[in-house]
Structure 1
């Protein structure tokens, strides 16, 4: 149930009616606020506002809708500012797309655009697909395409990782086998020589020293590659800076300001001259000289006294003066166009110079960072090389301390250290590749989902049109059965672009006695029935009932009372709240009757469509 509080809406000064689920009939004679009540409902739902929505002479008004069961409340407040009326507050339908769908397919009053298009024999296509424009389908498709390209790139990387993974696994197996052989050889060598504990300690220390030297050597190689990259980046940046020329243009700001001042002065002159020209020309062209001057009518030429200076002149002389004013206006307009072009050129040059300066500053900052990084990296490389030299020296010292019989052991330990380091690196790389490769199925599913979404969006327009045509056909079949109109069929012919397959127009085709006729050949009631059917087709195509819980019907004077009752019964199942206007002579409705006793209308005011 909806409880309404209305203040200064159309012809209702104030009121508090209640709208119940099901059929709500607003029955009253003319000027009792029937249409005004529907205007209040469409206003609080989020419908469009016109200057007449706010009561004539009122500066503010409002409609408040409350739902006792859910404790929800919605309100729109109207304010008049001159000839403009603006709305504030929280309507029932907050989304612009839902508001437009309601306007087209649920608010079925005289202002309804679909009904109007049918009456005028206009193209229905723009109205039936209007809500699609607010969905920004092209923007959604572009975003989905961009996401799909990103996911495809990730999938390529994952597939590459899967290929590399097998190669990495084979390399790890090979190294593990080599390491196992090396350790077996070392164990065998240690068992044959029976070294003292001191010699064993030296061997362990030598192994550690070689491993540490190998790690430092890898760090040196990495730093050398980094320095080479930094030097290349610095060279590229220096080249771009050398090629970048900042225009040594003067400061255009002062010139632009001066030109704009000249432009404002010219526009003021043009406005003055145009005003003088228009007034004087109107006096001459509309034959109103008698209003502003005494005319001495003569055979050769009328003489008159100038109303501005009092001197005697003729109409021809005044027309020459007017032509002079026209020339002066034209001349100044040309000067204004030239000045505008000059100002635009100066502003463009100013922007270009600023962009170049910013690019230069960015490059210089990047160059400073690169040079700083290069200095730091060279220092780090120098330190690493010193450390490598120290490590190498230590290894050599330990090697000298080991007996000549340990040459084989040295080689084995060095190989073991190198192999262990390489093996650890390969295992880390394998783990990373496995993580990337495991995402292939997930990425493929996402690409499939994105492609389906894109195709769904691309076909949404045609699906909506197909649904609308099907709904139109079904509703028409019901209408012909229930109302027995003079025509036997009507349809929405689909005119398709042969190149794109896109629907360009939905043509309303009506047939009577086996031949096509225009809406002009139908009665007023039949035209309104077809208009309602077309609007209900959009109601079905966009699932309007899911968001808009009501259908409002007004201005169906062309329908007989029994047909109005039939229509109400037909529409009742399509919506939660059905509100229709009717005259008392339409008889009783099976539902809730809204009485003018629930509101006060504007005194001595004849509503435009009550």
Structure 2
């Protein structure tokens, strides 16, 4: 096949990655088996695929400062470049994934994979499954959704109450219209009387009285305007005073402060995270040491055992094998001398105890980190709320002061107008006593009726505006109810999202673990399952119930009786299988198959060949393209139809 040809199958080209100088490998959809002895660049090739997909867990060849990997997939080309710089390796290019988090956790199942190792290292299984989920963001969205729903509920309640007031408003409108009609009829009669009276009088000397009546009417109008403004201002002041009191009460109820300021908490969190990272590294190293020693003690690492036996044979004439069979001794793989196996087992046990101490200390650090995060969040929220309330209180107090000043001015204006009206009324009374003019009496009646009609028309206009506004507002109820329904559905989805992921993760693990155990036929291993329970932990100043995943291991004794075992008693093969199934559960629950076209498997040597073949077949049902690295003797047990890649 020429360089320009393509079959449509995935093709990976690698330069200076891991132990690879240069290679191009064409894969096929389905199962691809990288078969070969150790140190044949199989793991380097798997990491190259990871790099092309978006992972930064790639190392350059020891003698190279630059490297690259290119993935041709479904007519598209994805290329990454890696450069060694001071402080580490810098990547660039166009990977397949924008965010490789899910793939790193649940699709790239190499030996150091976090999800795969979570079981044997007794990590927080729930935390691993929930790591791609931004729980804090969901909780913030829940708070916002709750606020939105409350706002919609309040608005719907207000409009519903407004709707119930429409009949009384309509009744008030009809009453005003009738009253206006009657008053206008009476006004027309009085105007006719006035015109008739004027026709009868040849002259009048009552111009001054008419002027005073007009002035009195104008003053009364001004007084009514001032009284309305004063009433409105008083209502605003009462509303502001009520809001101010509520804000002051809320401010007083806020915690006075926290023992540590947020910056100090941030620093403490950073220190705790560094400590946890150090413990993680130490725990991983201990686990590797323990596993290596267990392999050496059981003789499963044949190459190293043969090398030690060969060295020992040169000095004792080849009696090593007999010594291993007849005595409880072994060859020390550090100095080559013969030691009691009890001594090695004792050392391994001490290492296990030390690792368990590290695990417990790491879990305690995780709880401390969660506690500090909760305290920091609470401190920030409280400080932000205190600042907001303080600003609003200050603004409200300023507005109250301004409105009280305006109210005082209106009081003075009202008193001034009332005093002027009293004087005008006295003057009008005096002028009326001096004049017996029937025309002036009619004029006074007309003026008062005109004032009454004007006031009624203003009231009618206000009521009609209120009805129109209410009808417009009420028309929004159906739309608001639809919005509230959407908000309720979103709130329900948010509240159940975390619970749903946890529940589906547990169900997926338990279902697939049962199926895999049935397929692999472990003799006395009855069941491995996860129970979703709760434990009480401290978050900030509160104690809350926090969900946890508790792993149960059930074995069957020779007499048929079942009993619960511990993780420490799982064989290496059983631990590896359990870790892989846990990673598969995360792969399925987070639907990683929709984002990542590959699943990668490596370091399966702890599992026997026949079981590896069944496990690969099981996993291949859920991945479009599965690539696994196996020793030749393990690869021989797999289906012959699988693609074999023997040279990289």
Range of TM-score over shorter length: 0.5 to 0.7
Distance 1:401 1:103 in 2: 104
> Is 1:512 equivalent to 2:556 in the alignment?
yes
Say if 1:93 and 1:402 are closer, same or farther in 2 by CA, change over 3 A: farther
> Is 1:579 equivalent to 2:580 in the alignment?
no
Say if 1:371 and 1:529 are closer, same or farther in 2 by CA, change over 3 A: closer
Offset from partner CA, 1:140-183 (integer Å, 9 cap, x none): 22322333343344344334433444443332232223233334
Distance 1:547 1:210 in 2: 84
Partner of 1:9 in structure 2? 17
Q: Secondary structure at the match of 1:509?
A: strand
Distance 1:100 1:214 in 2: 78
Q: 1:81 aligns with which of 70, 85, 106?
A: 85
Deviation at 1:435, TM superposition (A): 3.4
Alignment of structure 1 residues 301-450 onto 2, 5 Å? 405=442, 409-447=446-484, 449-450=486-487
> Is 1:596 equivalent to 2:647 in the alignment?
yes
> Is 1:65 equivalent to 2:113 in the alignment?
no
Q: Secondary structure at the match of 1:92?
A: coil
Alignment of structure 1 residues 229-248 onto 2, 5 Å? none
Deviation at 1:579, TM superposition (A): 2.0
Partner of 1:319 in structure 2? none
Offset from partner CA, 1:35-88 (integer Å, 9 cap, x none): 112212222333353xx623324333333434444x4x5444333333422334
> Is 1:549 equivalent to 2:597 in the alignment?
yes
Partner of 1:470 in structure 2? 507
Q: Secondary structure at the match of 1:494?
A: strand
> Is 1:558 equivalent to 2:606 in the alignment?
yes
Partner of 1:298 in structure 2? none
Offset from partner CA, 1:332-359 (integer Å, 9 cap, x none): xxxxxxxxxxxxxxxxxxxxxxxx9xx9
Deviation at 1:475, TM superposition (A): 0.9
Partner of 2:145 in structure 1? 144
Distance 1:17 1:214 in 2: 99
Partner of 1:328 in structure 2? none
Instruction: Count residues in correspondence.
Output: 456
Say if 1:214 and 1:20 are closer, same or farther in 2 by CA, change over 3 A: farther
Distance 2:220 2:38 in 1: 101
Partner of 1:568 in structure 2? 616
- Structure number with greater CO (CA < 8 Å, separation at least 6) is 1
Offset from partner CA, 1:82-107 (integer Å, 9 cap, x none): 34223344543324xxx333222222
| Counterpart contact for 2:80–2:93, Cα < 8 Å | yes
Say if 1:440 and 1:560 are closer, same or farther in 2 by CA, change over 3 A: same
Q: Secondary structure at the match of 2:133?
A: helix
| Counterpart contact for 1:489–1:512, Cα < 8 Å | no
Distance 1:37 1:27 in 2: 12
Distance 2:56 2:552 in 1: 27
Q: 2:534 aligns with which of 468, 492, 496?
A: 496
Alignment of structure 1 residues 124-143 onto 2, 5 Å? 124-133=125-134, 136-143=137-144
Offset from partner CA, 1:172-224 (integer Å, 9 cap, x none): 232223233334555677899999xx9xxxxxxxxxx9999998777655666
Say if 1:4 and 1:402 are closer, same or farther in 2 by CA, change over 3 A: farther
Q: 2:33 aligns with which of 25, 28, 51?
A: 25
Say if 1:125 and 1:178 are closer, same or farther in 2 by CA, change over 3 A: same
Unaligned regions of 5+ residues in structure 1, if any?
Answer: 199-208, 234-355, 598-610
Distance 1:163 1:525 in 2: 73
| Counterpart contact for 1:47–1:103, Cα < 8 Å | yes
What is the TM-score of this pair, normalised by structure 2? 0.57
Distance 1:130 1:153 in 2: 37
| Counterpart contact for 2:553–2:567, Cα < 8 Å | no
Unaligned regions of 5+ residues in structure 2, if any?
Answer: 1-8, 200-214, 240-386, 429-436, 537-542
Distance 2:484 2:521 in 1: 53
Distance 2:461 2:217 in 1: 12
Say if 1:417 and 1:5 are closer, same or farther in 2 by CA, change over 3 A: farther
* CA-atom RMSD in angstroms: 5.2
Distance 1:441 1:531 in 2: 53
Distance 1:180 1:34 in 2: 100
| Counterpart contact for 2:173–2:463, Cα < 8 Å | yes
Distance 1:232 1:495 in 2: 52
